[in-house]
């Protein structure tokens, strides 16, 4: 029993050491040679926020009419950037690290996890910026803030699952990267990120029903939950306050578990052949 524990600790201690090293290296190289460096991890969502707020908030007047809307918009954009950054870097990670995987023996999944962890660090920095904006906007925080870590874990889980699936497919089909570039644009404008979901649901009818169905998407559901629990519990529709059926409420969570399990299964099943294919 003691030897089994030692073998287990030895295996995963080594994996954690490699993971920490890759995360540090990736995060440093990401902004190497850039004058502003790590500041870009904050500037990119801020620039996008300014454009989206002017276009959708001012010109098209797609707002929920509350003082917290700009902060809610910034939080949504930052959360979506975490998803796209994780998937965009992660799906190429196995191929990009092909030489390293052939030379050094360590679990292949670490290169994918390190890409998502790097994006998670940037997301954490952005959350601090959102908190500062929220304080200036005099957001009234509630006890629901304690649920925020669970929402972020769910968003990370579904993102990691999707990234593992696409990283596996990218080894065999390079077209996946181009398909994802198109899909992420479609998903971004389809989900209630740049426009408030209440803007649609308040209109009633079939359109409102379809809008509520968007919350069955685990990415949209987790981002809405993050907004609801962090900034605006009174104005943000979520799957928990839009549906009375617990089966429907738990569907996005169950789908998150399925996507993550599928990603792990496909990656582990194919990882032994990665070196041969590349």
Tens of pLDDT, residue by residue over 242-259, are: 888 888 889 999 999 999
The pLDDT value recorded for residue 196 is 77
The pLDDT value recorded for residue 130 is 86
Residue with tokens 């993971």: 19
Rounded mean pLDDT of 212-218? 87
User: CA dist 10 to 6, 7, 45, Å?
Assistant: 6, 5, 40
Residues 6+ apart with CB under 8 A from 226: 75, 79, 148, 151, 152, 155
Name the nearest CA neighbour of 84 among 116, 59, 114: 116
The pLDDT value recorded for residue 270 is 84
Sign of the dihedral through C-alpha 50, 60, 196, 257: negative
The pLDDT value recorded for residue 258 is 96
If you ran DSSP here, which 8-state letter would residue 54 be given? I
Name the nearest CA neighbour of 259 among 144, 183, 159, 186: 159
Record the pTM.
Answer: 0.85
Which range of 21-25, 43-47, 135-139 scores highest in mean pLDDT? It is: 135-139
The pLDDT value recorded for residue 214 is 85
Which range of 23-27, 35-39, 164-168, 204-208 scores highest in mean pLDDT? It is: 164-168
| Residue 4 pLDDT grade (very low, low, confident, very high; cuts 50, 70, 90) | very low
HSE-CB of 242 using CA atoms within 13 angstroms: 28
For 118, the token pair is: 């790097």
User: CA dist 20 to 6, 34, 70, 78, 193, Å?
Assistant: 21, 23, 35, 24, 32
Rounded mean pLDDT of 45-72? 69
Query: What is the distance between the alpha carbons of residues 121 and 125, in angstroms, rounded to a whole number?
Result: 6
| Residue 204 pLDDT grade (very low, low, confident, very high; cuts 50, 70, 90) | low
Residue 78 pLDDT exceeds 70: yes
Higher per-residue confidence, 137 vs 150: 150
The pLDDT value recorded for residue 263 is 94
């Amino acid at each position: 029993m003691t030897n089994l524990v030692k073998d287990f600790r030895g295996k995963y201690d080594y994996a954690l050491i490699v993971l920490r090293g890759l995360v540090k290296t990736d995060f440093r190289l990401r902004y190497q040679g850039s004058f502003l460096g790590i500041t870009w991890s904050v500037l990119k969502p801020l620039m996008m926020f300014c454009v989206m707020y002017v276009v959708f908030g001012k010109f098209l007047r797609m707002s929920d009419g509350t003082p917290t809307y700009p902060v809610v918009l910034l939080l949504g954009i930052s959360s979506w950037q975490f998803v796209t950054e994780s998937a965009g870097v992660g799906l190429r990670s196995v191929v990009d690290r092909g030489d390293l995987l052939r030379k050094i023996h360590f679990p292949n999944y670490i290169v994918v996890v390190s890409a998502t962890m790097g994006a998670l660090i940037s997301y954490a920095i952005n959350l601090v910026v959102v908190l500062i904006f929220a304080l200036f906007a005099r957001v009234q925080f509630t006890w629901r803030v304690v649920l925020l870590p669970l929402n972020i874990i769910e968003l990370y889980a579904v993102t990691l699952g999707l990234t593992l699936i696409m990283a596996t497919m990218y080894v065999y089909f390079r077209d996946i990267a181009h398909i994802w570039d198109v899909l992420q644009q479609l998903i971004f404008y389809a989900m209630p990120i740049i426009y408030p979901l209440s803007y649609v649901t308040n209109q009633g009818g079939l359109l409102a029903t379809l809008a509520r169905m968007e919350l069955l998407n685990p990415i949209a559901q987790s981002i809405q939950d993050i907004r609801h629990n962090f900034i605006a519990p009174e104005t943000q529709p979520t799957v928990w306050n839009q549906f009375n059926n617990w089966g429907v409420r738990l569907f996005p969570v169950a789908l998150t578990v399925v996507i993550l399990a599928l990603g792990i299964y496909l990656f582990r099943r194919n990882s032994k052949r990665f070196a041969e294919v590349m």
